[in-house]
Structure 1
Amino acid sequence: MNDEVTQYISNTAPWQKEICEKLRGMTHETVPVVEERLQYGKPHFLKDGHHVAVIAVARDKVSFMVFNATDIPAVKGFIRAMGKGDRKCADFEEGQEVDYKALAEILEKTTIAL
């Protein structure tokens, strides 16, 4: 675990901290060899030098973005396409339920070929 990532998560609102810690744990569990670092001011997760996910916290939400996700379909209200569709992002607001299992399945699919 990276101390800068820990500090980033610690400086968020309690509800955001809970989501970030669970996303972080889910990422490490899903991709056991994942490395983490603070890059561009946000926690980034890498496998063999390739970006696989990033957590971003804004005032009213937590976002979890996965890379290499061209083959992952966007699902209205759950995960949206970004860029040219090679990245997918899920946003969570306070009180919203997070489907960590579904996110783990997506992460597993996007990292299997790396």
Structure 2
Amino acid sequence: MTKNAEVTAFIEQIQIPWQIQIAEQLRQMVHDTIPDVQERVQYKKPHFLKNGKYAAVISPSKQAVSFTIFHANGLDLPDGIFEGPEDRKTIKLKEKDTPDYEWLAGLLKQASADL
């Protein structure tokens, strides 16, 4: 697992402890789900690529940590949890949430399978 120092620095500079924890867990989940994933900071956010194609992005904001899954066409997603166009779905994780990382990993694995 190769972790990019820029992504590490990005996560470490987040000011809100619960957001750091979620970002670190999402990052680890991406690495566990996509062998040989590449990561980099692009557009001021950590992006994760498989074979040079976007697979996911982590984006903290004031009240949430957003996690976007690319190539989401065909995923069976429950109503009201994800936002965005059909090919790119984002979930906003807030302080009181208990993210199901295993479920998110399954969605990410399915979405990135053909990359």
CA distance in 1, matches of 2:87, 2:33: 20
Superposed counterparts of 1:1-114, under 5 Å: 1-12=3-14, 13-80=16-83, 82-83=84-85, 85-114=86-115
Total equivalences in the alignment: 112
RMSD: 1.0
Give the whole-Å Cα distance in 1 for the aligned partners of 2:110 and 2:92.
Answer: 19
Letter in 1 for 2:9: Q
Match of 2:94, as an amino acid? Answer: E
Q: Deviations over 1:27-47 (max 9, x none)?
A: 000001100000000000000
Q: 5+ residue gaps in structure 1?
A: none
Deviation at 1:77, TM superposition (A): 4.0
Unaligned runs of 5+ in 2: none
Q: Deviations over 1:8-33 (max 9, x none)?
A: 11111100000000000000000011
Moved over 3 A (4+): none
When the two structures are superposed, what TM-score results if normalisation uses the length of structure 2?
0.93
